[in-house]
Amino acid sequence: MVKIAVDCFGGDHSPNANVVGAVEALKMHDDLYVVLTGDEQILNNELAALSYDKSRLEIVHAPKVISHDERPTVAIRDPETSMAKAMELVRKNEDVAGLVSLGSTGALLSGAFLKVGRLKNVIRPAFCPIMPTMDGTGVGICDSGANAECTPEQLKQFAIMGSIYLETAYGFESPKVALLNIGTEEDKGDRLRLETFELLKNTECINFVGNMESRNLLTGEFDLIVCDGFSGNVLLKSTEGACLEMLKLFKKVFTSSLKNKIGALFLKKSVMETKEFMDYRNYGGAVMLGTKKIVVKCHGNGVAKTVRNCIDQAYKMSNGGLNERIEAALAEYAPRRAQEE
Amino acid sequence: MVKIAVDCFGGDHSPNANVVGAVEALKMHDDLYVVLTGDEQILNNELAALSYDKSRLEIVHAPKVISHDERPTVAIRDPETSMAKAMELVRKNEDVAGLVSLGSTGALLSGAFLKVGRLKNVIRPAFCPIMPTMDGTGVGICDSGANAECTPEQLKQFAIMGSIYLETAYGFESPKVALLNIGTEEDKGDRLRLETFELLKNTECINFVGNMESRNLLTGEFDLIVCDGFSGNVLLKSTEGACLEMLKLFKKVFTSSLKNKIGALFLKKSVMETKEFMDYRNYGGAVMLGTKKIVVKCHGNGVAKTVRNCIDQAYKMSNGGLNERIEAALAEYAPRRAQEE
């Protein structure tokens, strides 16, 4: 049985999206067990309308919710919140493999660092979301914002952990790893990039293909982009923002005149399919790599299917032995650190 | 008379785009004078088909072209290249206000640093391209890649120089300056961002509106984004890349079936307008701010109108007294540095 805790509050569509998503996930895997954290009465009301295998779902009561205007490092310390409760479950119960949350990213980050902790030899855990690419395969970005400042050794770990993640959760074979840089030549970039390039080139357990420029993120040429959390965050959000603005622009075109509205009618089906294809809510969440248990951050405006996908992701990572594989890889490829600890 | 040197080689459509662009620019301003650098015979052949005021155009012969696979710092030292010749003109002739080039960015950067030099008190010159925003106003990004590593004081200078540039070349009034960060709260980001935020907050000559996240680049909320050259480059290129991929995606939709092709016919005019609106070739080039003379980098695949716009930009900067204003502002706002020199 794979047990996953689901923080049922903190999202735009919580708790309904969380509860429905959890029930849908139960239907996907017979050996999945979910623990919902949040206000018991509210969750029971949501569950009343649904049919599901009651032997594989339980509620752990947590009366409070972390709001987005609270200081994350303070908020996560309140044990009565649904997120802190999910963290506690993961920390204290060996059989709980991980947690999924739609709540404050900052609080989740603090909680993951403070309460869940790092795997052996991991310098710092990192966020790795997946973006849809034009060829339909997707590309991971690691780190996308957990560590604003990084060392080359950290970036090397992101490359290793991200590769294992793509293999475990998405079935990639030998994922193509690229270093985010401001040019493709080997001598491009700042000291961090120059040193990281050297390290990655000599890391045998990954398929390093060289530097990449951010303009090629969505082409499908690369499977994993390795970067510090600051530039990774810029990469992720500027791409999301540009895609969103382009969709808005086309929407404006489609409705700007009667002639255009008629044309849009012909195209409606295909455009809806394209929008669906680009919708990150179809792609699960940003996982945290390097924590002792699985932590999946679901987008705050995720809907039921997004939550379902995030739970499915967590299930696959657990089943695929993600953390065991990361520990083994880092033990082999970071021998000096291992000896120091 | 405003004299601008135009490096006529190094672009995808050179020298035709450069020559036609220069001739078109002459028609915009009666007191503009252009000096074309490049192979004399080839340029004369291009000019033969055009009518223009011959008293305001001259050719300075340069038989060689810098290719994109040459090492920029080496290539720019060859005085026989069209780019080096334009640099020499700018350096040696007081009456040449600046230069426009479509050639290698790296070589232009090296040349600007080595041959043109910095204005008094400028720590390092920076690139500032303008991106089209959804409200049609445009947004500047400074630095977009000249300085991969920066100090807070440099970012402060980018904010000052960029503001003056937007006022001088585009008529912005009190442009809204934002710091690129991974969250909007004052305490977000790494040390560079935290220290820069404090500096910008206390810089009276700019209109600092706080941190911004890259997802809001195109909304039109901000006029100038201040950032280190690494993240600025990621911001610029990921936004360009995402817009391009979205256009490709829609193009695919428009041609994927007979029904869609019919719909696309209705929309053709508006879609072409939208494409035109998003086309960065309509928006001039990335200027280098902080150099002793004006340096404009035109996109390598720029066409005649792009070159014309870049020359127009250089003309306006010269006429608006950009460099005099930058020197005055930096003398006032960087008094410690001024005393050191």
Do A323 and A155 meet the contact criterion of CB atoms below 8 Å apart?
A: no
Cα radius of gyration (chain A): 21
- Mutating which of A267, A271, A272 best tests the B interface, going by the most B Cβ atoms within 10 A? A267
Q: How far is B231 from chain A (nearest CA, A)?
A: 5
> Do the first three CATH levels of A1-118+290-320 and A123-286 match, i.e. the same topology?
yes
Domain ranges within chain A, ordered by starting residue: 1-118+290-320, 123-286
Chain B residues in contact with A286 by the CB 8 A cut-off are none
Determine the average pLDDT of the residues in B325-329: 95
Q: How far is A224 from chain B (nearest CA, A)?
A: 15
Question: What confidence category does residue B333 fall into, taking pLDDT thresholds of 50, 70 and 90?
Answer: low
Going B301 to B305 to B311 to B312, the CA torsion angle's sign is negative
Question: What confidence category does residue B274 fall into, taking pLDDT thresholds of 50, 70 and 90?
Answer: confident
CATH tag, A1-118+290-320: 3.40.718.10
Tens digit of each residue's pLDDT (9 = 90 or more) over B204-259: 999 999 999 999 999 999 999 999 999 999 999 999 999 888 888 888 888 888 88
Strand partners, B127: B288
Chain A residues in contact with B242 by the CB 8 A cut-off are 217-218, 238-239, 242-243, 246
Chain A residues in contact with B241 by the CB 8 A cut-off are 214-219, 239
- Is it the case that residue B338 has pLDDT exceeding 50? no
Question: What confidence category does residue B339 fall into, taking pLDDT thresholds of 50, 70 and 90?
Answer: very low
- Mutating which of B267, B273, B279 best tests the A interface, going by the most A Cβ atoms within 10 A? B267
- Is it the case that residue B103 has pLDDT exceeding 80? yes
Which residue has better confidence, B333 or B197?
B197
Strand partners, A61: A38
Q: What whole-number distance in Å separates Cα of residue A181 and Cα of residue A188?
A: 7
Tens digit of each residue's pLDDT (9 = 90 or more) over A68-126: 778 888 888 889 999 999 999 999 999 999 999 999 998 999 999 989 999 999 999 99
State the CATH architecture for A123-286.
3-Layer(aba) Sandwich (3.40)
Q: Which of B162, B145, B139, B154 is nearest to B192 (CA)?
A: B154
Question: What confidence category does residue B69 fall into, taking pLDDT thresholds of 50, 70 and 90?
Answer: confident
Tens digit of each residue's pLDDT (9 = 90 or more) over B115-163: 999 999 999 999 999 998 988 889 999 999 999 999 999 999 999 999 9
Written as six digits, the tokens of A147 are 């560590």
Q: Do B242 and A218 touch (CB under 8 A)?
A: yes
Q: What pLDDT, on the 0 to 100 scale, is given for residue A339?
A: 46
Do B24 and B305 meet the contact criterion of CB atoms below 8 Å apart?
A: yes
**What Cα–Cα distance (Å) separates residue A40 from each residue in A9, A59, A63, A219, B282?**
12, 7, 8, 45, 59
- Is it the case that residue B337 has pLDDT exceeding 60? no
Phi, psi of B85 (to 5 degrees): -65, -45
Q: What whole-number distance in Å separates Cα of residue B134 and Cα of residue B217?
A: 10
In A, minimum Cα distance to B237 occurs at A215
Burial B257-276 (b: 16+ CB within 10 A, else e): eeebeebbebbeebbeebee
Residues lower than pLDDT 70 in chain A: 333-341
* Burial classification of residue B341, based on how many CB atoms lie within 10 Å of its CB (0-12 exposed, 13-18 middle, 19 or more buried): exposed
If phi > 0 it is left, if psi is from -120 to 50 it is alpha, else beta; for residue A86 that is alpha
For residue B187, the number of C-alpha atoms closer than 13 Å in the C-beta half-sphere is 4
CATH tag, B127-285: 3.40.718.10
Q: What pLDDT, on the 0 to 100 scale, is given for residue A71?
A: 84
Q: Which residues contact B68 (CB under 8 A, 6 or more apart)?
A: B104
- Taken as a whole, chain A contains a residue count of 341
Comparing A125-129, B100-104, B182-186, which segment has the lowest mean pLDDT? B182-186
Chain B residues in contact with A220 by the CB 8 A cut-off are none
Q: What pLDDT, on the 0 to 100 scale, is given for residue B332?
A: 74
- Is it the case that residue B273 has pLDDT exceeding 90? no
Going A248 to A250 to A251 to A252, the CA torsion angle's sign is positive
Q: Which of B60, B57, B128 is nearest to B92 (CA)?
A: B60
Strand partners, A106: none
Q: Which residues contact A339 (CB under 8 A, 6 or more apart)?
A: none
- 3-class secondary structure, A94: coil
Q: Do B267 and A260 touch (CB under 8 A)?
A: yes
Q: What whole-number distance in Å separates Cα of residue B131 and Cα of residue B160?
A: 19
| Best CATH choice for the domain B1-122+290-320 from the list 3.30.460.80, 3.30.450.40, 3.40.718.10, 3.40.50.880 | 3.40.718.10
Q: What whole-number distance in Å separates Cα of residue A155 and Cα of residue A255?
A: 46
- 3-class secondary structure, A38: strand
Do B169 and B313 meet the contact criterion of CB atoms below 8 Å apart?
A: yes
Do B189 and B182 meet the contact criterion of CB atoms below 8 Å apart?
A: yes
Q: What whole-number distance in Å separates Cα of residue A68 and Cα of residue A72?
A: 8
Secondary structure letter of residue A119 according to DSSP: P
Q: Which residue matches tokens 């030998």? A: A174
Tell me the ipTM for this assembly.
0.89
Chain B residues in contact with A148 by the CB 8 A cut-off are 182, 189-190, 193
Q: What is the pTM of this model?
A: 0.91
Cα radius of gyration (chain B): 21
In whole angstroms, what separates CA B51 from the centre of its chain? 28
